[in-house]
Structure 1
Amino acid sequence: MNYAIPSYLSDMPLYRKAMDIIYLSRSISTYLNQDLNYLTEDGKEDTNIYFTGDIIQQSTSLAPEIINAERERHSDKKFKHLESLERLTSLLFNNCKRLEKSNSNGRDYLPILRSELKKFRKLQRTWMLTL
C-alpha cells in the first residue's frame, strides 16, 4: 500500500497527536534504555527493557493506521483499521503502566505519555464518528 500522506492529514489534530506520541515515546524509550540496560548481580537482564521497544513499535504504528482508515472506501475494511488503532492505543497505555513500575528515573516521564494518550483517545473517538 502506498503511504504517501494526503495533504489534509497533516492538519488533522488526531494525526498531529499521533506524531507527538511517536516523538515522545522515542525520547522516553531512549532515556529508559540507558537506565535499564544493565545486568543484575545474578547475570539476568531487566525484563522491562523490552517494553521500551514495544512503546516505540506501537506508537509508530498509530499514524499508518490513521492513514489507512482515512483512505479506505469500504466500511468493513475501515472498521478493521479502527479496531487496530484502538488495540494499539490500549497496548501502549498498558505498557506505559508496566514501565512506570520499572527501576528507572525515566519512569517519571511516563505519566506525560499517558496523558497524551488520553488526549489521543478523546480525539480518536471524535474522529471515528466522522468516518
Structure 2
Amino acid sequence: MLHNISSDFSELPIYKKAMEIYILSRSISSCLQYDLSALRSDGSENSDIYFSGDIIQQSVSLGPEILNAELERYSDKKEKHIASVQRLTNLLYKNSFRLERSNSNGKDFLPILRSELKKFRRLQHTWMLTL
C-alpha cells in the first residue's frame, strides 16, 4: 500500500470505504482460513481457501487504483484505473458469493462485505462523475 499518500486523497470517501473493505476482507479471510485450511478426509485441500486469498488481493488493490486514477492527468489512462476499480469490485462481489457456499463459520460475515461493496459502488458512481 502507499504509505506516503497526500492527506487530501486519504480523505476521499471512496478511498476511506476502500480501506474499510480491505480491513473487513482481511478479517473475513482470517475467519475462513481457519475452517478452510484443514485437509478433507480424502487428503485433498478445500479449493475455497483460494477465494479467501483472492478477496484480500482484490481489496488491497482498490486503494492504489483509486489513487492512481486521482493522480493521472490523461483521461485515457484515468479511465483504465477506473475500469480496474470496477473490475476489482465485481470480482470481490463474485468471490463473496463463492465463499458463502463454503463450509465455514466465517461465511456469515460475507453479507456484510457485500453490503459494504454496495455502498462502495454508490460512492464509485459519484466519484467517477467527478473525475
TM category (shorter chain) comes to: over 0.9
Per-residue CA shift, 1:62-110, capped at 9, x if unaligned? 0000000000000000000000110000001000000000000100000
Kindly indicate whether the alpha-carbon contact (under 8 Å) linking 1:32 and 1:105 is maintained by their aligned counterparts in 2.
yes
Q: Residue 21 of structure 1 corresponds to which residue in structure 2?
A: 21
Identical residues among aligned pairs (%): 65
* d(CA) in 2 for partners of 1:98, 1:37: 16
TM superposition shift of 1:10: 1.7
Q: Residue 94 of structure 2 corresponds to which residue in structure 1?
A: 94
* d(CA) in 1 for partners of 2:95, 2:79: 24
* d(CA) in 2 for partners of 1:3, 1:128: 24
Q: CA RMSD in A?
A: 1.1
Q: Which amino acid aligns with 2:117?
A: L
2:88 paired with 1:55: no
Q: Residue 124 of structure 2 corresponds to which residue in structure 1?
A: 124
> TM-score with structure 2 length normalisation?
0.96
Per-residue CA shift, 1:18-66, capped at 9, x if unaligned? 0000000000000100011111111111110000000000000000000
TM superposition shift of 1:3: 6.8
* d(CA) in 2 for partners of 1:86, 1:19: 16
* d(CA) in 2 for partners of 1:7, 1:126: 20
SS in 1 for 2:70: helix
Q: Residue 110 of structure 2 corresponds to which residue in structure 1?
A: 110
Unpaired runs of 5+ residues, structure 2, are none
TM superposition shift of 1:4: 3.3
Unpaired runs of 5+ residues, structure 1, are none
Kindly indicate whether the alpha-carbon contact (under 8 Å) linking 1:29 and 1:52 is maintained by their aligned counterparts in 2.
yes
User: Would you identify which runs of 4 or more consecutive aligned residues in structure 1 move more than 3 Å?
Assistant: none
